[in-house]
A = this chain, B = another copy of it.
Amino acid sequence: MYTKIRNRDLKVFEDIVGAAHVHVGAAIDADLAHDELGTVAAQPEVHLVVTDKHQIEAIMTHCNQEKIPVTVRGSGTGLVGACVPIHGGVLLDMSKLNKIIELDPLNMTLRVEPGVLLMDIAEYVEKQGFLYAPDPGEKSATIGGNIATNAGGMRAVKYGVTRDWVRGLEVVLPSGERIVTGGKVVKNSTGYAIKDLIIGSEGTLGIIVEATLKLIPLPNKSVSLLVPFDSREQAIDAVPKIIANHALPTAVEFLEKDSLAFSEEFLGKQIPHADYPAYLLLSYDGNSDQQMEDDVNAISSFCIDELGAIDVYLVDTDERKQSVWSARGAFLEAIKSSTTEIDECDVVLPRVHINEFLKFTKNLSRELGVRIPYFGHAGDGNLHIYFCRDELSEQKWQKALEIGFDKMYDKAFELGGLVSGEHGIGYAKKAYMERQVGPAQMTLMRGIKQVFDPNNILNPGKILS
């Protein structure tokens, strides 16, 4: 169905990006065959490093004409196989298309190339007194990858997700044509929302070659509170009430003795006040000391007097913040390093149903005989749940995944949840999405893919089969 890459294609690519940026065979780094989770793996036929959007136009024009599949890759930090070239072909490496083009302080926008890392954006804009608020855990992800998955992160409670922070996109279509959608403008009711359709399309509809991001003034102050409870149930039940309270937290994470234990072992140190069964970790930001103090006092009393919290610990020094947030940030790495292989579920639920879903997960773990640690964003209902293979045979492991995921997604749908809160569908979650959205929406999605990519050459086999 697809054209295998021939010498004459390589010659074309060399003319476009230069011979030094064309890699084939053994010269292709083995890590480029998989993403961060590694459950999906496939070798590209050629690895092209691009440094300019016009190269991408030329590559797509050629590949579309010759029916060569193209898969776009940023930092490869995804967890559902979206950047894995399952049909071979071209792996289009965006990591060197990584210039910060312009910070416009008066329009409060940042123009970037897609390969810029999240951590570099944060550093760049914060130095100049601005905030780009989306805050996914993986700071070495590219902004292009974040936009492609509509990444969420911890600050979604107050600030929303990546979609809410993208004002404009420049996109190369599978045909090689380049379009601009949106811009430095705050509002837009100009025709169909092509920008929003590209956001979250996981590199299947077009290639993001430039993004204009929204910035806000950097809040002057921030504070975190570590709030211990007697049980997970009590901690999680408190969350919607805390959010409906007047000061909106930037983040509400839950920590549990079990999951903290992974981090403690992984990092070799404990968080302060580590002796409680469960915690909420709350963050607030603002602009005056007085306001922050008022907020902290109000929320502390509310937690203790009304919600049954045992205590409220202020996480205010840099050292304490670093200790607590690094424990939270290390969960995925810690869980990975605790076992032989993992697979994950990234459901998002209405936040009132988190407890019920976690209880279901605990029971499932016992029933299947599989260790299933989890963590997640209690504030936005997005859970990250990890099946750990440990010493299971390949057959038992596959069986456990099949039965386990089926049951978990069905339970999530029953509770009004969706397959993915922030990691996307990619290759790994296609069947579950199909089950959730049903045949009418699948027909729409297939039709949309066909409109953008009639030859199905751009990241084929992702999101849709």
Contacts and interface: CB of A to CB of B under 8 A. Distances in A.
Contacts of A163: 193, 196
B157 A186 contact: yes
B351 A107 contact: yes
Contacts of A219: 246
B445 A185 contact: no
A156 interface: yes
Contacts of A255: none
23 contacts: A129-B244, A149-B189, A150-B188, A161-B186, A161-B187, A163-B196, A175-B440, A181-B437, A183-B350, A185-B349, A185-B350, A185-B381, A187-B380, A189-B422, A190-B418, A190-B433, A190-B436, A190-B437, A193-B193, A193-B201, A288-B294, A291-B294, A447-B451
A185 B417 contact: yes
> Majority SS of interface residues in chain A?
loop
Interface in A399-457: 416-425, 433, 436-438, 440-441, 444-445, 447-452
Given A192-B448, A348-B186, A177 B246 contact: no
Contacts of A68: none
A287 B420 CA distance: 34
B381 A248 contact: no
A425 B196 contact: no
Interface string A135-152: 000000000000001111
Contact of A187 (B152, B187, B197): B152
A164 B156 CA distance: 12
A210 to B, nearest CB: 13
A199 interface: yes
Nearest to A346: B189
Nearest to A446: B451
Most buried by B among A107, A178, A349: A107
A444 B190 CA distance: 14
Contact of A177 (B105, B291, B440): B440
Contact of A243 (B108, B199, B380): B108
A179 B452 contact: no
Contact of A179 (B181, B196, B438): B438
Contacts of A193: 150, 163, 193, 196-197, 199-201
